[in-house]
Each structure stands twice: as structure tokens, then as C-alpha cells.
Structure 1
Amino acid sequence: MDVKSKEARSKNMAAIKSRDTRVELKLRKFLFTAGFRYRVNYKITGKPDIVFVGKKVAVFVDGCFWHACPACYREPENNREFWRKKISGNRERDLKVTRELEESGWVVLRFWEHEVRKNTESVMEVIKTVLAER
């Protein structure tokens, strides 16, 4: 049972961004400042957050709540069955998207939201290394 009315919950959910989140913008700013050029919301399987088309590298920044980060995720108290199904579906879709992209010759990099927020430089190093290898 949800503690909010259907209208209030709808308003809350509508305000949640699926792209151009603060953490995505932070990573993109770091990459751009370092001289990297990339595409945003490029139309390939899974719509990665950042794509290096020529190198075939797709970068996803997964939200800790929406993708059940092992370090951060706490199951909601309300409407548990709905959230279990929702988060489980997100995780299954992530695996499917990663598999499909890799089968198509792409390198897929996935970072947790908290990694980008707290350790942007180390995330950048991983991206730089992968791009240099391609």
C-alpha cells in the first residue's frame, strides 16, 4: 500500500529524470574538459548515456536505486512487491542490453551513480584506458 495518493505518486515519478541527470552531466563535463568527444543518447540498443561511436564504446551510469547497487540499495518499505518486480526487471534488461551490445562488437562500461559522484577521476581513468585500447 502506497502512503501517497495516486496523483501525488504520479507527480513524484514524473519528476524523475531518465537522462541528463546531475551525475551524467558531471561525467560528461569531465570527459569534454579532458578533450574527449562523444555522443549522448545515441540510438543503439539500450540507449547508453555516453557513446564513443568510432571506438564502439558504450557507457552507462546506473542509478543506485533503480538498478539495485549492492553498496547503496535499500528496498522501499511501501509497495515492496511492485518495487521488487520493477528493480528485477531493470537488472534483467541491463544484462540483456549488455549481452546484445557485446555480441555486436561494442565494449560496455557500467558505472554506479555513487562511483561517478565520489570517484569521477577513477571512472575517467577506466574510460581513458578502454578507449586507448580500442
Structure 2
Amino acid sequence: MNELFSFDRFLGSLPTGGFSGNGTDAFRIRAPESVFVRPHLQVIDTCEEPLVTLVSARGATGKSHLAEQVSAIKQVPLWLLNEDKAVSGDALRARLRDYTDTRDGFERLTDDPDSFILVDALDEARMRVSGDSWYDYVQTLFDASQKTHS
């Protein structure tokens, strides 16, 4: 495939967004970057109705800045795992419970086809936890994506 993909087309491929709540330093909607160079991305693999979108690149190439800009434009929270030490099977539900100030934050995310979250620094989080904790954490991300592109 290896097709070039503009930033605007990338934004258009994501759900509408608009998932506001009570943010924390590690889990909140970001402010737009004052200087942002719109990248051209390369599609490696795709399907007609993706449940997740992964962005992969070498270190220090702008993935975090890209995530911050998408968070600001789409008005969805960006979860910075390098600032949040809780990576476990309950971490996503706990963050969504606090973010939405409801007991059903996870369901609010998964039931709304326009909502999604961004997760940054998976590699850093993986290095801090055991295999079982990591598996449980990734499973909750997978569970969140079962109904819609979360």
C-alpha cells in the first residue's frame, strides 16, 4: 500500500471528536500548537472501518506533537502515559470515570461513535510494568475499540 496521506485526510479519517471532560495533566484535551508543520503520513495498512489508528515512527520525529494537535482540533483527550504512572487493567476505566465525572465513563466513550481518545508514550509505559499488567492494560484498550473507533 505505502500511500502518502495528508494531515487533513488523516483528520478526516478519524471520528468527529468532541469528548470533553475534567482533564488532568496526564489525561486532557490539549491546546493547539502555535507552530505546527502538517506532516504527510504514510499508510502501511488499512481497512474500511478501522477500530484503532496507530501512528508509528522513530523517536523525536513529532508523534507527540501530532497527537497534541489532533487532540486540540478534534477536542478529545490525549493520555500521556509518560506522565501517568498507572498502567493496569483498570487504568482506562479509572481515567474515564474521573474525566466524565460519572461511573459510566467507559460506556460513554464506547457508545458514542464520534468520541475517541489518543494515547501517547505506549513504549515508555510498557517498560515500566510487568507482562501481566501490560496485557491487562492493552486488553482494556482493545475492549474500548470493540464498538467504535475509540
Same fold by TM-score greater than 0.5: no
Task: Give TM-score scaled by structure 2 length.
Answer: 0.27
Task: Give TM-score scaled by structure 1 length.
Answer: 0.29
Rg larger in 1 or in 2? Answer: 1
